[in-house]
Structures are given as structure tokens and as C-alpha cells.
Amino acid sequence: MELSLEKQYEIVFLREHPAGLKFSFGFIAKQVRCSKSTAIYWVKRYHENQDLSTSERP
């Protein structure tokens, strides 16, 4: 399943926003309707390169 760019940033926002609650990957996966490993993947990619628009999942 390919996630839209908006969903990728939603995952990052729910986990990383400074004023946010830093939700668990399991909770985020349920909210965005993806796997926990997908949520972990996009947060990791965000830390490597904050511009997810150039990111493609292999």
C-alpha cells in the first residue's frame, strides 16, 4: 500500500510535533490505517531528510 504525502507527514506530525503528545507507533498506525512498521519507516525517513516529497519507499 502506497501512502500519500499527506499521510506520510501526518505520521510524522503525530509522533514528532514539539507541542504534541508523541503518540505511539501502534496508535499512529491505527489512526492512519497503515502498519506499525510503515509508521516507523516514515518517521525514520523524516529524520534522515525532512523533505518527504522526494522520498520513495523501495
pLDDT by residue (tens digit) across 12-56? Answer: 999 999 988 899 999 999 999 999 999 999 999 999 999 998 866
pTM of the model: 0.85
Instruction: Report the 3 state secondary structure along the chain.
Output: CCCCHHHHHHHHHHHHCCCCCCCCHHHHHHHHCCCHHHHHHHHHHHHHCCCHHHCCCC
Task: Parse the chain into domains and list their residue ranges.
Answer: 5-51
